[in-house]
């Protein structure tokens, strides 16, 4: 459609290389045994690492085979820059970073000027986020033609929530993808119509292309954009508010959409504890951040930017309409720990520790306090998400959620400390903490650190954090343990 023949050739060549490699690997390992639980975690971690690595191949090939004069034709008329950002993808580390950011739905980018990479590459970035939102393994299971036994359940649980919507895992995976496709179609139409109403003079072809790509990026909570300055390029408050809905949609769990579309359980909008908690957070958090920005005089439009950036942060989408680098420390701290660190719904496309764990930890803390004032013989249950949990179950779930949150925080802080040694002097510790959190929570907001000129060590650390954040730590640690000690259990000391 856009006559980008070098990009088409690059996708064809990279696709052939990857498909051919996959076919050979399948032939070599066709008689492999079904994975056990610990092996399924390793499969998930290794699959995400290798698939995101080879996902950078199209960027690399297209950047090398496209002549410079053709690249420069992608630059919009009247742009202030003269070189295409495709040139940055001649470095494979940048390609790996872009692919990891895309498939993990993070949104940090090495494409400094997005429109200058061409429509084909822009679509690939957005489509990769859409695929990564629901997950590689869930997609593969949805395409299986028959039931392959216990390993299917293990692989499904290794990447997703393990929530069963139907008796067979593959039927559950198909249901998730159908729901995902439905809400994507609805969102695309919503953005096309909304943009046409708000900006009637905006070219229709650009409207359709932007809306489709932004629907992919918004519902996957990915945050890539086809525009040079993200959603701020529209220079319209109405467009900012229009784009709140895709981010809100992207923050909810995919099983929630299945229950809405196929089971007609419309009460789930309020009865589902994650959805209800997120709706409350959207309102309360947006007001608090807006007031903090208003009090600090950090921006000219504190309420417009506060509302947009809070919803973008807690949904871990990453669309940006504000220069966060100039915010005050209070606003910084709030958006880091009360938005990006928490994230959206468990079972969705989001990052962070997930709202489910955050709410359970909060309720578990109050449950522990109340229990201290009861008789030792009193059995104090906890009602959560529509079910009563006995003390042993509460303690186990609370320990699991708390340990995960602590592990997430420790990795976040350690990576921040390391990156501070390799950042330019104009960036503070708070800047490093923000960028590190944005990578690990797959939020994708930036204070300007992420750039092709960044230190390669920092770039590798952010790649690691995006990988860890998408897979929720345990599969990655299982892979490291297997590489160091094998898959056999440790011997217990006598």
Q: For the segment 81-121, what is each residue's pLDDT rounded down to a tens digit?
A: 999 999 999 999 999 999 999 999 999 999 999 999 999 99
- Within 13 Å, how many C-alpha atoms sit on residue 290's CB side? 14
Q: Is residue 116 part of a domain?
A: yes
What are the Cα distances from residue 133, in Å, to 104, 139, 256, 348, 477? 7, 10, 15, 8, 22
Q: Is residue 174 part of a domain?
A: yes
pTM as predicted:
0.93
Q: Is residue 129 part of a domain?
A: yes
Average pLDDT, rounded, for the chain: 90
pLDDT digits (tens, 9 = 90+) for 192-208: 999 999 999 999 999 99
Q: Is residue 454 part of a domain?
A: no
Percentage helix, strand, coil for the chain under 3-state DSSP, each rounded to 5:
65, 0, 30
DSSP element (H, E) containing 388: strand 387-389
Which domain does 174 fall in, by range? 5-261
pLDDT digits (tens, 9 = 90+) for 347-376: 888 889 999 999 999 999 988 888 877 777
Helix axes 273-296, 355-371, angle to 10 degrees: 100
pLDDT digits (tens, 9 = 90+) for 319-332: 999 999 999 999 99
What is residue 57's predicted lDDT score, i.e. its pLDDT? Answer: 97
- Residue 9's pLDDT band, with cuts at 50, 70 and 90, is very high
What is residue 176's predicted lDDT score, i.e. its pLDDT? Answer: 83
Q: Is residue 41 part of a domain?
A: yes
What is residue 144's predicted lDDT score, i.e. its pLDDT? Answer: 62
Q: Is residue 216 part of a domain?
A: yes
Q: Is residue 311 part of a domain?
A: no
- The total of structural domains in the chain comes to 1
Least confident of 127-141, 161-175, 237-251: 161-175
Q: Is residue 391 part of a domain?
A: no
Tell me the residue length of the chain. Answer: 494
- Residue 142's pLDDT band, with cuts at 50, 70 and 90, is low
What is residue 149's predicted lDDT score, i.e. its pLDDT? Answer: 56
């Amino acid at each position: 459609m856009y006559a980008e023949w070098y990009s088409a050739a690059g996708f064809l060549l990279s696709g052939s290389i990857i498909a051919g490699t996959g076919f050979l690997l399948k032939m070599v390992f066709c008689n492999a045994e079904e994975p056990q639980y610990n092996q399924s975690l390793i499969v998930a971690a290794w699959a995400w690492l290798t698939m995101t690595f080879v996902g950078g191949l199209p960027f690399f090939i297209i950047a090398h085979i496209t002549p410079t004069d053709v690249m420069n034709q992608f630059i919009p008329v009247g742009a202030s820059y003269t070189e295409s950002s495709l040139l940055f993808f001649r470095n494979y580390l940048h390609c790996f970073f872009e692919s990891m950011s895309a498939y993990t739905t993070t949104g940090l980018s090495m494409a400094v000027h997005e429109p200058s990479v061409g429509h084909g590459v822009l679509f690939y970035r957005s489509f990769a986020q859409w695929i990564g939102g629901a997950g590689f393994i869930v997609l593969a299971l949805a395409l299986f033609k028959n039931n392959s036994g216990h390993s299917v359940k293990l692989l499904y649980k290794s990447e997703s929530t393990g929530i069963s919507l139907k008796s067979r895992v593959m039927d559950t995976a198909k249901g998730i993808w159908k729901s995902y496709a439905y809400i994507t179609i609805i969102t695309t139409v919503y953005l096309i119509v909304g943009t046409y109403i708000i900006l009637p003079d905006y070219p229709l072809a650009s409207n359709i292309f932007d809306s489709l790509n932004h629907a992919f990026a918004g519902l996957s909570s990915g945050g890539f954009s086809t525009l040079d300055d993200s959603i701020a390029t529209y220079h319209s408050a109405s467009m900012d508010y229009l784009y709140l809905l895709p981010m809100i949609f992207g923050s909810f769990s995919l099983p929630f959409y299945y229950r809405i579309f196929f089971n007609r359980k419309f009460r789930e909008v309020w009865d589902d504890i994650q959805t209800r908690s997120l709706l409350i957070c959207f309102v309360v958090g947006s007001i608090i951040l807006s007031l903090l920005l208003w009090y600090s005089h950090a921006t000219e439009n504190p309420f417009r930017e506060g509302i947009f950036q809070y919803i973008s942060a807690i949904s871990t989408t990453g669309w940006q309409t504000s220069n966060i680098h100039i915010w005050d420390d209070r606003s910084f701290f709030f958006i880091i720990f009360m938005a990006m660190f928490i994230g959206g719904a468990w079972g969705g496309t989001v990052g962070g520790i997930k709202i489910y764990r955050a709410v359970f930890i909060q309720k578990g803390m109050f449950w522990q306090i109340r229990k201290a004032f009861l008789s030792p013989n009193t059995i104090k249950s906890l009602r959560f998400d529509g079910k009563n949990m006995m003390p042993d179950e509460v303690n186990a779930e609370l320990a699991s959620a708390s340990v995960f949150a602590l592990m997430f925080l420790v990795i976040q802080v350690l990576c921040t400390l390391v990156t501070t040694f390799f950042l330019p002097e104009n960036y503070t510790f708070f800047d490093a903490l923000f960028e590190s959190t944005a990578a690990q929570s797959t939020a994708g907001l930036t204070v300007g650190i992420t750039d092709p000129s960044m230190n390669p060590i920092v770039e590798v650390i952010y790649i690691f954090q995006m990988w860890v954040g998408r897979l929720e730590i345990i599969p990655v640690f299982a892979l490291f343990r297997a590489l160091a000690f094998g898959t056999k259990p440790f011997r217990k000391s006598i």
